[in-house]
Amino acid sequence: MDQQDRRHFLMAVLGTVAARAATAGIRFASSGFIWQNNIEEGIQTTARFGFKGIEPFRQHVTKYLDRPRELKRLLDDAGIQMVSCSNGGNMMVDFLDPASRARTVEDHVRFAGDFIAVFGCRHCKINMGRRPEGGPTKDQLSSLADGLNELGRRTKALGLKLAPHPHIWSPLEREEEINFVLRKTDPSLVYLVTDTAHLTLGGMDPVALIREQYGRVAAVHFKDTEAKYRGYRGATPTQEEHRKVNLYKDLGTGGVDFFAVHALLSNQNYQGWITLDLDPPRPGDGSIDEMLRRNKDYLEKGLRVKL
């Protein structure tokens, strides 16, 4: 090997070592949504597949809401953590109407303090409720921003970053809505949980948005879409379309450039959670184990992630 080839070889080795070091702080989790109400099976399966955390919804852990430490013992025994627990169930989730905003904030503060904080979570991930017909007005988005600022101030006192989740069919669906709310909120109080599929289906480039708003990113969700949505800038697919054919796909389906997303996070030395935010398998998708195996294989063999 001549001197030039040796130099190129060493640079490649050092680049690989640097990339692995940059991703050492990333932890991968599964979505508790896959198992619906069977969180116990979800915990055991998540641990068996080597993921370090699980992220359920409130309505799927209702039997533990008054005894969170019992659920924490199940997690501790399995050797995994709760990433966060999404809002839902009988909580008020209406930030758009100023008349409902105060109760919405109080419900979320109570849930964050009495439940989420018990698990040592770093952030409080919340969905924003239903999208108004025709999309939110500026007044509604301003009300949303005011509510998030107040809620973020109070969750910060609990040691939690407030992280609203842009989601299709919600008030934060399109890029201009996300940017409007981010401009209106305090960056020390309000962050984001960015989802590669929702950003793509909402007409955005997830790589560009995560890069631009990186300082506001508290956590990341990975899921894919059909390849036809790569670079898509059209109207958001409807819920009726989603009922007919699942819009959310296995990693590697082609709608999301995960190599670019992962490279961006690695280069930024991202130290947070990435949740495989998958839906329960539909007919033809195989079992939950088969679905998790496909996506784990993509992480390990495609993205060269070591779980």
Tell me which residue of 274, 270, 267, 298 sits closest to 19, measured CA to CA.
267
Question: What's the CATH number where 141 sits?
Answer: 3.20.20.150
User: Which residues is 62 bridged to in the sheet?
Assistant: none
- Note whether residue 29 is domain-resident: yes
Task: Please check the confidence at residue 3 and state whether its pLDDT lies above 50.
Answer: no
Joined together, the tokens standing for residue 267 give 């280069």
> HSE (CB half, 13 Å, CA atoms) of 204?
26
* Residue environment code for 107-117, b if the CB has 16+ CB neighbours within 10 A, otherwise e: bbbebbbebbb
Please list, in sequence order, all residues whose beta carbon lies within 8 angstroms of the beta carbon of residue 265, skipping any fewer than 6 positions away. Answer: 23, 26, 210, 220, 274
How high does pLDDT run on average in the chain? 93
Please list, in sequence order, all residues whose beta carbon lies within 8 angstroms of the beta carbon of residue 28, skipping any fewer than 6 positions away. Answer: 51, 52, 53, 273, 274, 275, 276, 299, 305, 307
User: Max alpha carbon distance in the chain (Å)?
Assistant: 74
Task: Please check the confidence at residue 97 and state whether its pLDDT lies above 90.
Answer: yes
> HSE (CB half, 13 Å, CA atoms) of 233?
3
Please list, in sequence order, all residues whose beta carbon lies within 8 angstroms of the beta carbon of residue 77, skipping any fewer than 6 positions away. Answer: none
Query: Could you tell me the residue range of the domain that residue 163 belongs to?
Result: 25-302
Task: Please check the confidence at residue 195 and state whether its pLDDT lies above 70.
Answer: yes
- Give the pLDDT score at 6: 43
How does pLDDT run across 114-160, given as a tens digit for each residue?
999 999 999 999 999 999 999 999 999 999 999 999 999 999 999 99
- Note whether residue 153 is domain-resident: yes
Domain count, the chain: 1
Task: Please check the confidence at residue 38 and state whether its pLDDT lies above 80.
Answer: yes
Joined together, the tokens standing for residue 156 give 């910060």
The dihedral through the CA atoms of 261, 264, 266, 268 has a sign that is negative
Please list, in sequence order, all residues whose beta carbon lies within 8 angstroms of the beta carbon of residue 38, skipping any fewer than 6 positions away. Answer: none
Task: Please check the confidence at residue 58 and state whether its pLDDT lies above 50.
Answer: yes
- Give the pLDDT score at 24: 58
> HSE (CB half, 13 Å, CA atoms) of 2?
1
- Note whether residue 1 is domain-resident: no
Q: How confident is the model at residue 307 (pLDDT cuts 50, 70, 90)?
A: confident
Residue 236 falls in which region: left (phi positive, over 0), alpha (psi -120 to 50) or beta? beta
Joined together, the tokens standing for residue 299 give 């992480």
Q: Which residue has the tokens 């953590």?
A: 81
User: Which residues is 54 bridged to in the sheet?
Assistant: 30, 82
Task: Please check the confidence at residue 297 and state whether its pLDDT lies above 50.
Answer: yes
Task: Please check the confidence at residue 18 and state whether its pLDDT lies above 60.
Answer: no
- Note whether residue 53 is domain-resident: yes
- Give the pLDDT score at 25: 85
Residue 52 one-letter amino acid? K
How does pLDDT run across 252-263, given as a tens digit for each residue?
999 999 999 999
Distance of CA 295 to the CA centre of its chain: 16
How does pLDDT run across 159-192, given as a tens digit for each residue?
999 999 999 999 999 999 999 999 999 999 999 9
Joined together, the tokens standing for residue 173 give 């669906």
- Give the pLDDT score at 300: 97
- Note whether residue 14 is domain-resident: no
Phi, psi angle pair for 114, to nearest 5°: -80, -20
- Note whether residue 11 is domain-resident: no
**What percentage of the chain exceeds 70 in pLDDT?**
92
Joined together, the tokens standing for residue 37 give 């109400």
- What is the arithmetic mean of pLDDT over 41-65? 97
Phi, psi angle pair for 281, to nearest 5°: -65, 140
- Note whether residue 192 is domain-resident: yes
- Note whether residue 2 is domain-resident: no
* pTM exceeds 0.85, yes or no: yes
